[in-house]
Structure 1
Amino acid sequence: MIKTLYSLTCLFLLSSSYLLAQPTLKKLWQTDHLDVPESVLIGQDQRTLYVSLIGPGDHTIADGNGAIAQIDRQGKIINKDWITGLNAPKGLGEYEDKLYVADLKELVIIDIPNKKIIEKITVPEVGMLNDVTVDPAGDVLISDSKGGKIYRYKQGKVEVFLPNLVNPNGLLAVGNGLYFLDSGSLFYLDKNKIATKIATGMEKSTDGLQKDGDNFLVSAWIGVLYYINKDGKVTTLLDSRAEKMNTADFSFDPESRLLYLPTFFKNQVIAYQVQ
């Protein structure tokens, strides 16, 4: 009897510990209207949030309606038109005072201190550039969702880095490796370009990707936010499909445990506490 009670107690403690390891979301604030926010990036100054705005119109057409906005960490809009004249900007990455933007078929480079575009690099034969990440060496990786590739911008040149994918989107460079999302699955690519599948079974529109220690946060544009344990177990943190709220390319601060979520057609950025 004592042995049985001990076993049950251990099982309860293990189960409780496992349940506590699965975080929950608490909504903190939402911004005023922003024109189709697609991606949020926490600036390296840790005070500013950069938000890519696709703007009114067709988000697949080069129409000049896109912009980059700045908001603060409390959700106050600092400048909706910090950078204008873009087309349908999506993923963002920052390195040494430069902001890199995936803008349909161009990689746009912005001088942050001087608030101006310094270069637009057209990527030949591209389908649609989507997410951006910058590795520790300053190489910029850009996903091409419609073209099924990942490109690399290095020393002033753009080249195919990883071909033959299905619908790559979210990218996260860590050390010498790269985590990436492709059509409902999460992969890790090592320095020898050997890909290992970490998790699968998510909605095909997987979009944003962030790490939480050894675990991961993943969004699917259709309206789902997932938490993935390091063993590949996928749980749902948020499902907003019924209310037609998209969950696009979010940003996450592991220290404050704040998650900043762009809602695309709902025209707001929402902040959540990950508890």
Structure 2
Amino acid sequence: MKKLLFSAVFLLTYSSVFAQHSLEKLWESDSVTIKSPESVLFDAGSNSLYVSSMGSGSVVQLDLNGKVIKSDWVTGLRSNMGSGLSDGLFYTAEGSGVAVIDAAKSTIIKRIPVEGAGMLNDLTIDAKGIIYVSDTRNGKVYRVEGGKSSLYLENMPGANGLLSIGTDLFVVGSSSVHKVNANKEVTKIAEGFENGLDGIVMAAKNEFILSNFRGILYYLNADGTKQLLLDTREKRIMANDISYNPKTKTLYVPSFGTHRIIAYKVK
């Protein structure tokens, strides 16, 4: 009896730790409105998606069914990539600085230069409103506070996707994921991914979804265990800087090469 009980507990623990996940495709947007979408941002406040249409230097606003609300929500941007919202302001990474947009008026109000930046890519905003932006070309992460930028981390090869959770900053490199605490102590979470990691979202406590711009999606646990969710490389469907709606468990995936946003239910 004890042996049976132990086996049952072991199997239950094993199945929960190594629980498998899957994706169900819900919709995809048209391929006309958006030009080379590098990132998508889900906003619970407006119940909509903001897409960095990098190819046109604009932000396109979609509803949660992939229909266009406003094709020119913001224009006049320069190679806009990762984005974030905080206190009524929309921030997006341009090549060598961060554009600040008044979300209510959909207008650019200023640009914050990042001296020495090679190619700013993703950004995340912590609970205090501090912005962190990655420089993929130089393997660095910058911190933006009070309208000024400063170097925060270096020696982070391929630094791309960023995610702020509490006092921790998760940094996605070209083939690995690291966690950086408030003292800037770096812990490697996982490595050995196909080169080309791009975005990161939190799917549940200590659980994440990663994208690889070549067209791969991974499910990652904080203990480093991982699962391949989807591989669309043969179809040439890319997976760039993703976003997630935790309430509906919907993952939004930009495909830079096919000019579409694809939505998946995470199961």
Normalising to structure 1: TM-score of the pair? 0.91
Q: How does 1:40-51 map to 2 (within 5 A)?
A: 40-51=40-51
Once residues 10 and 174 of structure 1 are traced to their aligned partners in structure 2, the CA distance between those partners, rounded to angstroms, is 31
What does 1:123-162 align with in structure 2 at a 5 Å threshold? 123-162=114-153
For residues 14 and 175 of structure 1, do their structure 2 counterparts lie closer, same or farther at Cα, with a shift above 3 Å needed? closer
Q: Distance in 2 between matches of 1:152 and 1:9?
A: 48
Which residue number corresponds to residue 39 of structure 1?
A: 39
**2:2 and 2:182 mapped to 1: Cα distance?**
49
257, 261, 264: which one pairs with 1:265? Answer: 257
Distance 2:121 2:244 in 1: 18
1:3 shift after superposition? 7.7
* Secondary structure at 2:257 match in 1: helix
- C-alpha distance in structure 1 between counterparts of 2:222 and 2:46, whole Å: 27
1:68 corresponds in structure 2 to 59
Aligned 8 A contact 2:112 2:147 in 1: no
Instruction: Give 1:109 shift.
Output: 0.4
2:47 and 2:229 map into 1 onto residues whose CA distance is 26
Shift of 1:9: 5.6
Tell me, in whole angstroms, the C-alpha distance in 2 between the residues paired with 1:79 and 1:246: 24
Partner of 1:52: 52
User: Quick one: distance in 1 between partners of 2:86 and 2:216?
Assistant: 29
Q: Following the alignment from structure 1 to structure 2, what is the Cα–Cα distance between the partners of residues 154 and 68?
A: 23
Q: Equivalent residue for 1:60?
A: none
Shift of 1:122: 2.4
In structure 1, the residue matched to 2:22 is 24
| 1:26 partner amino acid | E
Aligned counterpart for 1:88 among listed residues 79, 89, 107? 79
Shift of 1:12: 5.3
Structure 1 residue identity aligned to 2:89: K
The answer to whether the 8 A contact 2:251-2:266 is kept is yes
Structure 2 residue matching 1:232: 3-state secondary structure: coil
Amino acid at match of 1:193: K
1:64-90 Cα offsets, whole Å, 9 max, x none, are x31100001111111121111112111
Distance 1:31 1:15, change over 3 A: same
Unaligned runs of 5+ in 1: 56-64
Report the Cα offset of residue 15 of structure 1: 5.3
Contact (CA 8 Å) 1:44, 1:94: kept in 2 or not?
Answer: no
Compute the displacement of 1:182 (Å).
1.2
Give, in whole Å, the separation in 2 of the partners of 1:113 and 1:173: 24
TM-score (norm 2): 0.93
Bigger mean CA offset, 41-50 vs 244-253? 41-50
Q: Which residue of 1 aligns with 2:162?
A: 171
Paired residue secondary structure (2:161): strand
Deviation for aligned residue 1:117? 0.2
Instruction: Name the structure 1 match of 2:224.
Output: 232
Equivalence map 1:165-204=2 (5 Å): 165-204=156-195
User: Cα distance, 1:44 vs. partner?
Assistant: 4.2
1:242 counterpart SS class: helix
Runs of 4+ in 1 over 6 A off after TM superposition: 2-8
For these two proteins, the number of residue pairs brought into alignment is: 264
Note if 1:247 corresponds to 2:249. Answer: no
